[in-house]
Structure 1
Amino acid sequence: MNPRSETTNLESPVAPAHLAAASNAAVPGASTGTGEHPVPALSDVSPADWREASRRLLAKALGEWSFEEMLKPVEDGGEGRYRVDLGSGTSYQFRARPGAFGWMKVDPASITRSATGMLGNSIAEPAWDALQFLADAASTLNTDASTLATYFNELSSTLAVDAARITHGGHTAAQMRGLGHTELECHMTGHNWLVANKGRVGFSASDVRRYAPEARQPVRLRWVAVHRGLAEFRGTSELSEQAILERELDAATRARFTRVLTSLDLKPDAFVWMPVHPWQWEHAVQVLHAADVAQRRIVPLGESPDEYLPGQSIRTMANITTPGRYDVKLPLRILNTLVWRGIPPHCTLGAPVVTQWLKCLLDSDPFLTDTCRTVFLGEVASVTVRHPYLSKVAEVPYQHLETLGCIWREPVAARQDASERVRTFASLLHVDSQGTAFVAELVRASGLGAEAWLQQLFDTLLIPIMHVLYRYGITFNPHGQNTLLGFDGDDVPRRLYLKDFVDDVCVSFTDVPERGPEPDGHDHVLPRKHPSVIRQHVVDQIFVGHFRYLAPLCEEQLGVPEQAFWRQVRGTILAFHQKNPELRERFAEYDLLVPRIPRYALNRDRIVVTRYTDRALRHALYPNGTLPNPLAQD
């Protein structure tokens, strides 16, 4: 596929011809340098690869939907065998290994499907078809046909990418050790917990091959000028609007963009300049903001010469031409992993002030800065664009109000040491095509014993997060993409990087003197939550969302029994308590060791609770029962 075929000419008909020609310059090939497209077309995926991808996804669905109690597995003959009986009259049998929080890890090769045959007899055969399973489970999942059909599309889209990955092969875990942070992101396989984790409703198959992270295709961002009657720039105290443009655009590009405006008899200073994702320009901005484009309140300027690669969130782009320049977070009007991937105006407005406050607070804490050397990647500047008509109408679904805006974030490359490799926390869970877990590869490369390496991981990850939680009543919602680890030359984790402040930072509504004056005392940007909910961010994102999967990998590939893994995590928490007795009351307030924790069922929320209702606001998840906490006792 020609990578340019999925992009469109940003320039208006009245823009100078030489600028339009420059904008349409060809985008170079994939950053891998192999000349091979990492995402084959579906027609190039073998039937065997499709079946294998589907078999793995079927096992994941059985495990996660049982964990969330959408399915009710029963023991079936002992020796780790279980059965799920569905309302359709079919049954699925499988072997699984029970793990922490009541989860079961299902063996994909063990699954069989039993259904009544034409002669009335029950026929059991090996099962691999995740889409057939969804149809079989329809009446059991307690959802409506419309939701099921849309979810089928998400599941099918996920399978298409997973099957293409198998066909392409991909890097081994050993090869992945040599990748930098940005390229490593392109090799990840999506959200661990969510079954349909690459649904990307709104993307075509060609869009996936052009803009999804696994495509590893460089993207040039389009720039637009938005009249100051629509747009507002904000930055931290040391960053002006002009400073951002000088950092992000070279002098020749700034001059070229200026000429676009002056050729239209427009004053450049009357506009705020900002990047736009090329897909968003074509599918959202020119549609919802057509009036503003036609009346030159939004003026297309052209492409910048720099190339970017998307991270796992798709909408956050890292500069690969000039890595020291900022990462850019841009809205995309696609539905993926539970929500529409726009950027709310309150986030763009609040990002710089929240960053300024957090960095002033946390950078003055010597334990974080000197002892832990924790890095906070701030969201330092933003542009907010409200829709001039729809923003004034009550209850308009949020997907229509979050189509234009941007946030600039400090890049990893600007903060890491010369010998340091930075990887997402989520990357530890990656398993290559040969079955080797990345965490196992890193441990073997380090020369340390598995327990010693894991202790270094737990200290690096948990101690700064617990310090901020207990001392300041703040949590970062540290899921696998927001939480990054800095490794030394021996692949041992040494320090923590945290990002995504305004979207995910929460503060407790209890009085915490150490926090000092907060940045939004009158017009709240930071969510205020009960300490038990603040705690739950840590429990869900680290323990349920990642350690639940990491522990069995460590048992299978590193010889560390799951029980020993959780005992080591508990010991890390208790050691922190012993070293900080002055925080004793807060240990109880934000108790990570309670016997049971609320269950937040992510897959169930999409299929049963939220479904695909077009909502005015992003909704809050509500607990569905409780889970046993493996950290509660030795």
Structure 2
Amino acid sequence: MPPSSAASATAWTRAARQMFAKLLGEFAYEGILTPEPEGLPARYRLAVPGGPVYRFRARRGAYGHWRVDPASLTPSADPLAFLTQAHDTLLRLPGDTLGHLLRELTATLSADVRLADAAPDAAALADLDYAALEGHLTGHPWLVASKGRLGFSATDAGRWTPEARTAARLPWLAVHRDLAHYRGIPALPTAERLYAEELPDHTRDAFARAVSDRGRDPHRYLWLPVHPWQWDETIAPLFAPQVADSAIIPLPADEDLRLPQQSVRTFLNLSRPHRRSVKLPLSVLNTLVWRGLPTERTLAAPAVTRWIHALRDGDPFLCDETRVILLGEVASVTVEHPLYDRLPTVPYQYRELLGCIWREPVGPYLAPGERARSLAALLHTDAAGRAVTAELVRRSGLPGREWLRRLFQALLPPLLHFLYRYGTVFSPHGENAVVVFDEDDVPVRLAVKDFVDDVNLSAEPLPELADLPETVRDTLLTEPPDFLTQFIHTGLLVGVFRYLAPLCADQLAVPEKEFWGLVREAVLAHQQRFPELKPRFEQFDLLTPRIGRLCLNRNRLYADGYRDRPRRPHAVVEGTVPNPLHTP
């Protein structure tokens, strides 16, 4: 059951007011709503035909950002009521989208209320380690329905979400090698080598006995952990014939306690923190997609890791200067469904049902005194409104602008070098990008994860990509150069810095214009460091006057809704916004 405060009217009202402010700001940013100025500075109104007129204060910012003040909203603000008032006039939502959206927003509000219950202050949050801090973060800053997790019941949400902060032992499955396939980096050439590193001898013996007790040869099976919810809701019913004939054999849970992270489907090992994380498919609709593991990408993950690591290790700037950490997806087990994986027109969720990716944890890469926090943590504010960023700056002893300069120096050079030198770009959003801090809480370097899902390549041929392995070439998405830069703009600048800039203006006394000037300064400094790449700076132009406006909420409301598709959706581009990096 949720904590008792989750039922309190006060907690719900506060969360609803904050969500309504977020909805107005993000829908206005994406051009879904058009608030009108009221004549006074920073005052706006939004009239619902046949309904109320909402009034509020809002600050405008870079990229056309709206920052709506929740306390200023009148009349009494409720995003659920607003949708019922405006769905067929201002928003023009079809009934099926409206129904599912109300459910997603209600689930998100429930999660927000749980997070607010006895939430630590910024100082206490700054003391938490990487795994524990993840359980206090509030989720995607841009998507309004950020924690919908359609498919989870209230009990599931209280057990398997990051805000539940509940560690669990994961059960495993043995799957016959006719269905299951193993891939690993050269250091993990066989599944047996992986299991020897991940599982104690007695656990491996117990797994082998469980297979032998079914009269089957353990050597003909691969093992992988499975999310308990996924087993009950998806694997047991959809793989029922394979379970019946012992092609899939349930195994006991291993001994390690694992904690779900912000992505919900990734678990960190608390019992043995230096062991690898596991990323498991979860047939839950959250943010924009079903959170499964695509079969072909799971197979290719170790090959992508090997290639990305080779780029870094062969480049002194990346390897020795920036010391960028690339958290490799070093091994995978993929399980084919005998029917669905051969049917390309069925909804894509049915081709992402069962598998596992083992990913390196950040801990072993940290030097003494270093600590890691996800980039999303910098946006977190406590109940009093104090940002974790402000607390870290206080601890560092540096002026706010100097701390920000160090942050940008840690984040941008490796990302820019991969883009300019290799035509390769990560999606460095708040969850995928991890900031490494020194003992004084000064940002010093970057760690990146999620390669196979979020690395994209230049569609235009580059000499540096001429020897790209076929497995990698066939797996990673390619984009034209003018869109490849969108992953840095949208993932980092729009998706994180758009929110960090006003926080820093309020709490670090660094005006927004100066904030963006520091970002531009970091880009230009990198370009000056590598003048031989000047043609690439023009090819991958981050300083163009305007950029396409990606619209994540429009995906849910209009482009994709809640319809099943055979392929994963892509973000909608609607119009353009001014680029704050264009001029000083």
Question: Do the structures match in fold with TM over 0.5?
Answer: yes
Contact between 1:520 and 1:526, CA under 8 Å: does it hold in 2? Answer: no
| Cross-structure match for 2:428 | 478
| Cross-structure match for 2:549 | 599
Contact between 2:114 and 2:163, CA under 8 Å: does it hold in 1? Answer: no
Shift of 1:516: 4.5
| Cross-structure match for 1:92 | 54
Distance 1:209 1:521 in 2: 40
Distance 1:450 1:92 in 2: 36
CA shift digits 1:39-73 (9 cap, x unpaired): 5157x531111000000000000000011111011
Distance 1:624 1:127 in 2: 31
| Count of residue pairs brought into register by the alignment | 582
* Change in CA separation of 1:129 and 1:231 when aligned onto 2, cut-off 3 Å: same
What aligned pairs does 1:101-250 form with structure 2 within 5 A after superposition? 101-112=63-74, 126-139=75-88, 140-166=90-116, 168-239=117-188, 240-250=190-200
1:282 alignment partner, one of 201, 214, 232: 232
Contact between 1:68 and 1:604, CA under 8 Å: does it hold in 2? Answer: yes
What aligned pairs does 1:340-355 form with structure 2 within 5 A after superposition? 340-355=290-305
Contact between 2:239 and 2:337, CA under 8 Å: does it hold in 1? Answer: yes
- Give, as a single letter, the amino acid of the residue that structure 2 aligns with 1:341: R
| Cross-structure match for 1:437 | 387
Shift of 1:455: 0.3
The answer on 1:309 being equivalent to 2:259 is yes
Contact between 1:88 and 1:137, CA under 8 Å: does it hold in 2? Answer: no
Distance 1:264 1:451 in 2: 65
* Change in CA separation of 1:344 and 1:446 when aligned onto 2, cut-off 3 Å: same
- Give, as a single letter, the amino acid of the residue that structure 1 aligns with 2:142: W
Distance 1:622 1:77 in 2: 33
What aligned pairs does 1:496-515 form with structure 2 within 5 A after superposition? 496-515=446-465
Contact between 1:45 and 1:164, CA under 8 Å: does it hold in 2? Answer: no
Distance 1:180 1:165 in 2: 17
| Cross-structure match for 1:32 | none
Distance 1:593 1:528 in 2: 21
SS of the counterpart of 1:131?
helix
Q: Provide structure 1 residue ranges, at least 5 long, that are not aligned to the other structure.
A: 2-38, 113-125
CA shift digits 1:189-227 (9 cap, x unpaired): 100000010000000011111000011100211100001
SS of the counterpart of 1:221?
strand
Distance 2:93 2:568 in 1: 20
Shift of 1:84: 1.2
SS of the counterpart of 1:555?
helix
Shift of 1:511: 2.3
SS of the counterpart of 1:380?
strand
Contact between 1:460 and 1:494, CA under 8 Å: does it hold in 2? Answer: yes
Shift of 1:621: 2.3
Distance 1:53 1:280 in 2: 30
- Give, as a single letter, the amino acid of the residue that structure 2 aligns with 1:234: R
CA shift digits 1:534-575 (9 cap, x unpaired): 110000011111110000000011111001111111111111
CA shift digits 1:386-438 (9 cap, x unpaired): 11012222401011121101100111122112311101111100001121101
Distance 1:604 1:247 in 2: 45
SS of the counterpart of 1:333?
strand
| Cross-structure match for 2:340 | 390
- Bigger-Rg structure (1/2): 1
Distance 2:559 2:311 in 1: 38
Contact between 2:289 and 2:569, CA under 8 Å: does it hold in 1? Answer: no
TM-score (norm 2): 0.98
Contact between 2:482 and 2:540, CA under 8 Å: does it hold in 1? Answer: yes
| Cross-structure match for 1:56 | 18
| Cross-structure match for 1:581 | 531
Contact between 1:141 and 1:608, CA under 8 Å: does it hold in 2? Answer: no
SS of the counterpart of 1:432?
coil
Distance 1:361 1:604 in 2: 36
| Cross-structure match for 2:278 | 328
Distance 1:391 1:569 in 2: 45
Distance 1:53 1:351 in 2: 39
Distance 2:472 2:170 in 1: 36
The answer on 1:371 being equivalent to 2:321 is yes
2:214 alignment partner, one of 243, 264, 289: 264
- Give, as a single letter, the amino acid of the residue that structure 2 aligns with 1:385: V
Shift of 1:165: 2.3
SS of the counterpart of 1:427?
helix
- Give, as a single letter, the amino acid of the residue that structure 2 aligns with 1:95: R
What aligned pairs does 1:6-21 form with structure 2 within 5 A after superposition? none
CA shift digits 1:324-344 (9 cap, x unpaired): 111000000100001000000
Contact between 2:376 and 2:430, CA under 8 Å: does it hold in 1? Answer: yes
| Cross-structure match for 1:419 | 369
* Change in CA separation of 1:511 and 1:392 when aligned onto 2, cut-off 3 Å: closer
Contact between 2:300 and 2:471, CA under 8 Å: does it hold in 1? Answer: no
- Give, as a single letter, the amino acid of the residue that structure 2 aligns with 1:223: W
Contact between 1:142 and 1:608, CA under 8 Å: does it hold in 2? Answer: no
Shift of 1:93: 1.0
Contact between 1:157 and 1:199, CA under 8 Å: does it hold in 2? Answer: yes
- Give, as a single letter, the amino acid of the residue that structure 1 aligns with 2:417: H
- Give, as a single letter, the amino acid of the residue that structure 2 aligns with 1:73: P
| Cross-structure match for 2:413 | 463
- Give, as a single letter, the amino acid of the residue that structure 1 aligns with 2:38: D
Distance 1:393 1:536 in 2: 32
Identity fraction in percent: 48
Of residues 567-576 and 514-523 in structure 1, the stretch that sits farther from structure 2 once superposed is 514-523
| Cross-structure match for 1:36 | none
SS of the counterpart of 2:550?
coil
Distance 1:289 1:211 in 2: 23
The answer on 1:79 being equivalent to 2:41 is yes
SS of the counterpart of 1:452?
helix
Query: What CA RMSD, in Å, does the superposition of the two structures yield over aligned residues?
Result: 1.2
SS of the counterpart of 1:477?
coil
Distance 2:21 2:109 in 1: 13
Shift of 1:88: 4.0
Distance 2:278 2:442 in 1: 29
Distance 1:530 1:231 in 2: 35
Contact between 1:225 and 1:274, CA under 8 Å: does it hold in 2? Answer: yes
The answer on 1:273 being equivalent to 2:223 is yes
Q: Provide structure 2 residue ranges, at least 5 long, that are not aligned to the other structure.
A: none
Shift of 1:89: 3.2
The answer on 1:407 being equivalent to 2:346 is no
- Give, as a single letter, the amino acid of the residue that structure 1 aligns with 2:180: A
Distance 1:301 1:563 in 2: 57
Structure 1 segments (4+ residues) deviating >3 Å: none
CA shift digits 1:214-268 (9 cap, x unpaired): 1110021110000111000000111021111111111111111111111111100
CA shift digits 1:122-166 (9 cap, x unpaired): xxxx32211111112202112201110100000000011112222
1:380 alignment partner, one of 330, 349, 352: 330
